[in-house]
Chain A
């Protein structure tokens, strides 16, 4: 089988080929390494690779298979990791200079689960520093380029994770989503991305940005692949006290059940001004498709929609300013050589080690938590967050899922929004509210613009109802498979 054929396969197809002995995990790993060698000088999805370790894992998988001890459908399948999730013995920079030399002393729970499933853990993927951004331009190690148009951003913050799947440098990747950081880049790169319900996937070993919002989730070409990866990484973890004690359904099996007619809600606040015409048209076609399958489409209202972005930036920056206090120049980060005493070692190390957006957000967060402003900003935002949750609870009495565009526009150009924080923040306007409400949501590719840029639709589900969310998404995806189209690079 040619390398081009291998890398074009979905994870489910690769798994099938491995079990049929048409391919070895070694061959799969080699094919991806060659593709990374070929395209990554342009795409720049990877910050670090350890090819020897990668091939050794593939070899171990082949051995298990030969001995009849295969660990499951992911055994031998490569999964590349956003550089914010700990893999023992591998670097974790969070795309920040302050963690330039950091090596993880332990595995994140999601990584332990992947290793237990036999997955071949691949390289470290680029992101906006500490997952703060929507374009991957905030990486201290240079931006990732969108494989569909190298002049455009891949989205962010998990831009390396989305670009790697789109450029066929990995069949599966993991990212993290705090306000849209999985779904928005998935949409901009034309791949599938899932943010699970808050508490469904352990955050142990994820470098924290905003702990009440962060979730790890999968990227893939198809919804079927995402279901397979999600069921592997989900589940209660005693090491994360916010992880929810609930059973993990077999999502892949649920996809094979016939879909009963359901009700899809279109929030009128998401379909107002500011949506690109071609995005609008593609979303209208997906709506028509669901209607043609016999599902009911209703208009709904989420009146707190325009409050989500300000609430998010008050809460997320406050949590970030607390979480990032651990990068202190003392224990495990780089230390400023200019520091003279025990006090300015902090400010100087952080001043040198953090990039602009991280500094902006830590300062903003400290302000919102500071004496005299706490009630007006942080507490007010937390109360408004309750109103946003209540909006969703009310709507979910009428509908099964909510359908929206994932992002208002296709991929934008480098530099277009990087000097205007608010305009950058607004590129997450459709994704942010689900993190505040803790709900599961995903982005599925639903077409291309005339100039060939991918477009994504977002489906938002009820808490812990990933099964039905994925099934409804799969009903569209298996007929269209836009994520299986690859850019000409």
Chain B
């Protein structure tokens, strides 16, 4: 990916990175729209940020520790209440290992 030109974006590659399946129509539409957005981002290329530190948070806090105390966790029922499929107090997932 790094050798290719940023425009146009390789929409199949990036949508796979994002784990989102797109329809054919979406692929075409996004290719065009995201191309425009990347064009708009070109403004950033002109900015001189030599020696400037990046900002990840406006008011960063470091080493935020929690009291080492046991707390009441969710019950199993609460923890899996929203799972799309569950059985015997566990979440059912598609088969991962082949027979």
A residues near B (Cβ < 8 Å) are 101-103, 105-106, 197-199, 212, 238, 241-242, 244, 306-307, 309-311, 313-314, 321, 325, 328-335, 339-342, 344-348, 350-352, 354, 356, 359-360, 362-367, 370-373, 376-377, 379-387, 389, 421-422, 436-439, 463
Contacts and interface: CB of A to CB of B under 8 A. Distances in A.
Given A310-B43, A313-B37, 19 more contacts: A238-B67, A244-B59, A328-B19, A329-B84, A331-B83, A331-B91, A341-B95, A345-B93, A351-B21, A372-B1, A373-B1, A373-B2, A381-B44, A382-B56, A386-B52, A387-B47, A436-B55, A437-B58, A438-B59
Nearest to A306: B43
A389 B34 CA distance: 27
A314 B36 contact: no
Contacts of B29: 356
Contacts of B53: 383, 386
B16 A347 contact: yes
Contacts of A346: 19
Q: For the side of the interface on B, what is the size category?
A: 35 or more
23 contacts: A105-B79, A106-B74, A198-B59, A212-B58, A314-B41, A331-B82, A333-B84, A335-B84, A340-B94, A344-B21, A348-B21, A351-B22, A363-B20, A366-B17, A366-B18, A376-B45, A380-B44, A381-B44, A383-B55, A384-B52, A386-B49, A386-B55, A422-B36
Contacts of B78: 105
A351 B12 CA distance: 13
9 shortest interchain CB distances as A-B pairs: A438-B58, A372-B2, A351-B21, A382-B54, A332-B82, A383-B49, A335-B84, A366-B18, A241-B64
Contact of A363 (B15, B44, B58, B96): B15
A412 to B, nearest CB: 19
Q: Dominant SS at the B interface?
A: loop
Nearest to B58: A438
Secondary structure at chain A's binding surface: helix, strand, loop or mixed? Answer: helix
A409 B95 CA distance: 53
Interface of B: 1-3, 6, 9, 11, 14-23, 26, 29-30, 33-34, 36-37, 40-41, 43-45, 47, 49, 52-59, 61, 64, 66-67, 74, 78-79, 81-85, 91, 93-96
Contacts of B83: 330-332
